[in-house]
């Protein structure tokens, strides 16, 4: 049986070989010619013995099973029927075929698994390097309020004032920001909320307006206060921030970019 030698490594056991032989007959497993199957199998095992292969043990067990089945089939028909009617499972022929069918199914299933494995290898899972949140529309959620804006102006003013002072001009500032912080806190402590425009009632000079802005800005920055607005064009109101907001550490301002 030269073709067996060629195929040798393919057979991973007696079931594998049996299946191969069934396929060679080109019939349904249930229609297989058991005598032919047994003969070819035994021939194969003979070749194995000659080659002194380890697995032979399992093949020899199967060979004897096949011999047994073959011998039963040689019995007169009436004796066969008697046996198969009430105890189908005990019929070694059916038992073998059942095992073959099952084995074949698993072999097919393993082919399916292999296909899945190959497909899976071609599939790439999206793993974005960063969380890509749409950058443009974030503009609409800028957390910059009018206070930030005015605060920026004021800081600028102060810096310019320092510059002027360095140049020898003396700038008087009778209004301290810390005083104004205390004042705003007091007023809010009583009322709970305050209209933005009301903050500047009674301001007597530019310096006082500036100091009040700065104070307000500082409180907003520290998140002790919040500015709210009912709608985009409504009056801004200042309220005491909820406690959990106050606990957020304020962000550090970004360092200035400097061009040379």
Which residues inside 16-55 make contact with another protein, applying CB under 8 A? 16, 30, 55
Q: Which residues pair with 237 in a beta bridge?
A: 195, 228
94 binds another protein (CB under 8 A): yes
Q: Which of residues 234-253 bind another protein (CB under 8 A)?
A: 234, 236, 242, 244-245, 251, 253
Compare residues 104 and 187 and give the one whose CB is closer to another protein: 104
Q: 171-207 as b/e, with b when 16 or more CB fall inside 10 Å?
A: eeeebebeebbeebeeebeeeeebebeebeeebeeeb
Place of tokens 């096949």: 66
Minimal distance, residue 221 CB to another protein, in Å: 11
Minimal distance, residue 223 CB to another protein, in Å: 11
201 binds another protein (CB under 8 A): no
- Among positions 149, 171, 182, 191, the unique one binding another protein when judged by CB under 8 A: 149
Q: Which of residues 116-145 bind another protein (CB under 8 A)?
A: 116-117, 119-145
Q: Which of residues 161-200 bind another protein (CB under 8 A)?
A: 163-164, 166-167, 196, 200
Neighbours of 39 (CB within 10 A): 15
φ, ψ of residue 231 to 5 degrees: the values are: -140, 175
What is the rounded CA–CA span in Å between residue 129 and residue 95? 57
């Amino acid at each position: 049986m030269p073709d067996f030698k060629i195929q040798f490594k393919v057979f991973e056991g007696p079931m594998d070989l049996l299946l191969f032989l069934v396929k060679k007959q080109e019939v349904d497993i249930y229609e297989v010619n058991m005598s032919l199957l047994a003969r070819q199998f035994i021939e194969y095992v003979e070749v194995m013995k000659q080659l002194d292969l380890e697995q032979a043990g399992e093949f020899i067990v199967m060979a004897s099973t096949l011999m047994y089945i073959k011998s039963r089939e040689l019995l007169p028909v009436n004796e066969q029927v008697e046996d198969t009617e009430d105890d189908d499972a005990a019929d070694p022929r059916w038992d073998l075929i059942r095992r073959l069918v099952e084995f074949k199914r698993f072999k097919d299933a393993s082919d399916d698994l292999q296909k899945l494995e190959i497909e899976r290898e071609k599939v790439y899972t999206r793993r974005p390097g960063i969380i890509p949140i749409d950058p443009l529309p974030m503009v609409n959620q800028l957390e910059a309020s009018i206070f930030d804006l005015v605060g920026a102006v004021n800081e600028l003013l102060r810096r310019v004032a320092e510059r002027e002072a360095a140049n020898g001009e003396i700038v008087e500032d009778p209004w301290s920001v810390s005083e104004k912080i205390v004042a705003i806190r007091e007023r809010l402590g009583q009322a709970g909320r305050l209209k933005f425009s009301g903050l500047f009632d009674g301001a007597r000079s530019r310096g006082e307006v500036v100091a009040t802005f700065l104070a307000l800005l500082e409180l907003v920055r520290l998140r002790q206060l919040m500015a709210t607005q009912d709608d985009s064009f409504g009056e801004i109101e200042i309220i005491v921030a909820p406690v959990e907001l106050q606990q957020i550490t304020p962000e550090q301002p970004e360092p200035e970019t400097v061009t040379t």
